[in-house]
Amino acid sequence: DPKIIQKPKYLVAVTGSEKILICEQYLGHNAMYWYRQSAKKPLEFMFSYSYQKLMDNQTASSRFQPQSSKKNHLDLQITALKPDDSATYFCASSQEGLSQNTLYFGAGTRLSVL
Amino acid sequence: AQSVTQPDARVTVSEGASLQLRCKYSYSGTPYLFWYVQYPRQGLQLLLKYYSGDPVVQGVNGFEAEFSKSNSSFHLRKASVHWSDSAVYFCVLSDSNYQLIWGSGTKLIIKP
């Protein structure tokens, strides 16, 4: 059974709309992350959260807003969608800090913006 | 500044042949190093990791990597590849601030 659930698996949106990408992890981890993968960038770190608090934000645009309603949830809200936002978005989790700990990834949400 | 370089965007090997995927890093401190693999249409999975000690670390599915401080390298190897090893492989460095620096990935193609 997958321990990190991302929903939906595929998502098609129109330019200017808003979408929420869901991520839930059942590994008991206290740190969660969002990454983006596209043809332009193989893997791009976006956000990290620890104990539901934002630790690091490498996303320049405020259109991307993580939301953590529970310790094991880290959703990603994207507003005013643009075609350039088309990518696969991966959620990941780990225990404590990253230096020695393994990242566990979800299967991703593939977003296409038309 | 710290960085990770995977010089080969694509590597093609025949099934049963040996494999080496190259990874060079730049980091002034003691690096924590990882190799992750991404199979087609899936998320990433850890192959192996190095913290300290024996410079050759064993991973899953017969993979190993060798850390070399003098060469600033962490190359991934496998003695005999299988078609199921076709994937994208990422070399990753973790610094003292828990920041992960990702390589650009190497796509491994296995010829029958």
Could you state, in order of their start, the residue ranges of all structural domains in chain B?
3-111
Nearest to A100 among B44, B51, B88 (CB): B51
CA distance A79 to A59: 14
- C-beta atoms of B100 and A106 within 8 A: no
Q: How far apart are CA B67 and CA B54, in angstroms?
A: 9
**Smallest Cα distance from B74 to chain A, Å:** 16
Question: Which residue matches tokens 């029958």?
Answer: B112
% residues pLDDT > 90 (chain B): 79
Give CA–CA dist A26/A88, Å, rounded.
Answer: 21
Binning pLDDT at 50, 70 and 90, where does residue A98 land?
low
Query: Of B74 and A50, which is predicted with more confidence?
Result: B74
pLDDT for A55: 85
Closest CA–CA distance from residue B8 to any residue of chain A (Å): 13
Chain A residue whose CA is closest to B97? A99
Query: How confident is the model at residue A56, as a pLDDT?
Result: 84
User: Can you tell me the distance from the alpha carbon of A7 to that of A13, in angstroms, rounded to the nearest whole number?
Assistant: 14
Nearest CB to A42 within list B32, B34, B105? B105
B-chain residues near A94 (CB < 8 A)? none
pLDDT at position A93: 92
Residues A79-88: what's their mean pLDDT? 96
* CA distance, residue B111 to nearest chain A CA (Å): 23
- Percent of chain A surpassing pLDDT 90: 64
Indicate yes or no: CB of A107 within 8 angstroms of CB of B46.
no
Identity of the amino acid at A111: L
Choice among A67-71, A80-84, A101-105, B58-62 with the minimum mean pLDDT: A101-105
> How far apart are alpha carbons B56 and B53 in whole angstroms?
9
CB contact under 8 A, A108 and B43: yes
CATH of range B3-111; options 2.60.40.10, 3.10.20.600, 2.60.120.10, 3.40.309.10 = 2.60.40.10
Per the model's pLDDT, the better-predicted residue between B2 and B57 turns out to be: B57
Residue B10 has pLDDT above 70, yes or no: yes
Residue A67 has pLDDT above 90, yes or no: yes
Ranges of beta strands (E only) in A1-114 are: 4-7, 10-13, 19-25, 31-37, 44-50, 53-57, 64-67, 75-78, 87-94, 104-105, 109-113
